[in-house]
Structure 1
């Protein structure tokens, strides 16, 4: 695990040196979400009703911004070949990349979500369940997004291909996240949707690193 921690530390250090990427993700999340009141009109009840869906959708789109560069730098400078030959398995290399993506994008989005909720007139009682839903939604977005990045590595216009490949897979996750918030807003239990999200996270955590490693091996051949 020492090699895993060293790789994670290296990737986080590189990400923090290019801190503008995380800032761009948060600014896009807030700016794109803030456009909805202008498009729909300043009706507080309408905005409050759809606020959770907007926050979830903007989180999914914002998470795509840095995915196409997740493996590109290591692939282009040959570091990925070195990682493939290192004692650390490619499955753990892939998992470190996922963790880096979540820490650099998912975590800032969690911090920015209450601000966007305030702009969208989200009911105060829905903030805890919204944040809890995002805690479970964002890791799934990072796992699926990283899988798409591995599958499209080296492809021409990989960013466009990545979006077409991954966005349909995001939809069930977003539906469950919005369902949890909607259930809480209607006075019902959100536990069922949250449990499904947690189970989905665990399933993706078990399967996605293996699938990513397989895709990376194909690229490196």
Structure 2
């Protein structure tokens, strides 16, 4: 069942490539506009690079996530999930994992190119990729929770209001890890905190999302 959910999400994304690549395009545009607007000041670009890259990644994750469960809710798939013998949190985790793979894999491929625009060296870019790999799953789980809580409501503003306060720790630790690497310091403490937040999100997130979906269907 888990493999079927994962395969279904991948097939749906292949039929709608614009939805899957919309976040990537937004990430590239936001990351590329700052060097063009601020000019060739290398020191300034290096100072703002961690914050800009992580804010762009957060906004790219939130883009379109309010529709995460709308299709399943409209065609009755969510009701079948409740009747399935598999636990609902595991099915939710499979769906979120599929969307994370589709959204973050291209983002990780493009992130080094954007890092070079800001004058980041190879070691700093490696830390940036590690922080994105650890932090973005938590952001996807938080976005899925917001999508479940706002299921059936129109507009994306409520989702943003729910998710943004919860995503502040990930944003802080992710950008701090890159900033520490830029200064020649160890980024391990910030990366460890991102990993701890990810463990917490994996343990509690699917259960909270499942409970929100049950409430939406009642």
Question: By the TM > 0.5 criterion, same fold?
Answer: yes
Q: Deviation per CA, 1:61-86: give whole Å up to 9, x if none.
A: 00111211110001011111112111
User: What is the aligned partner in structure 2 of residue 138 from structure 1?
Assistant: 136
Cα separation, 2, equivalents of 1:21 and 1:8: 17
Note if contact 1:52-1:117 (Cα within 8 Å) is conserved in structure 2: no
Mark the runs of 5 or more structure 1 residues left unpaired by the alignment: none
Note if contact 2:146-2:162 (Cα within 8 Å) is conserved in structure 1: yes
Aligned partner of 1:200 among 169, 188, 197: 197
User: What is the aligned partner in structure 1 of residue 183 from structure 2?
Assistant: 186
**Which residues of 2 match residues 26-175 of structure 1 at below 5 A?**
26-157=24-155, 159-175=156-172
**TM-score, normalised to structure 1's length?**
0.94
Q: Deviation per CA, 1:23-79: give whole Å up to 9, x if none.
A: 221111111111112332321111012112211110000011121111000101111
CA positional deviation for 1:19: 1.3
How many residues align? The count is: 218
Cα separation, 1, equivalents of 2:151 and 2:126: 37
Cα separation, 2, equivalents of 1:23 and 1:11: 14
User: What is the aligned partner in structure 1 of residue 207 from structure 2?
Assistant: 210
CA positional deviation for 1:186: 1.3
Cα separation, 2, equivalents of 1:186 and 1:33: 21
Mark the runs of 5 or more structure 2 residues left unpaired by the alignment: none
Q: Deviation per CA, 1:152-193: give whole Å up to 9, x if none.
A: 111132x11101111122121011011111111112111111
User: What is the aligned partner in structure 2 of residue 18 from structure 1?
Assistant: 16
Task: Give 3-state SS (helix, strand or coil) of 1:133's partner.
Answer: helix
**Residues 1:208 and 1:200: Cα distance change in structure 2 (over 3 Å):** same
Note if contact 2:93-2:206 (Cα within 8 Å) is conserved in structure 1: yes
Q: Deviation per CA, 1:191-220: give whole Å up to 9, x if none.
A: 111111111100110001000010000011
CA positional deviation for 1:121: 2.3
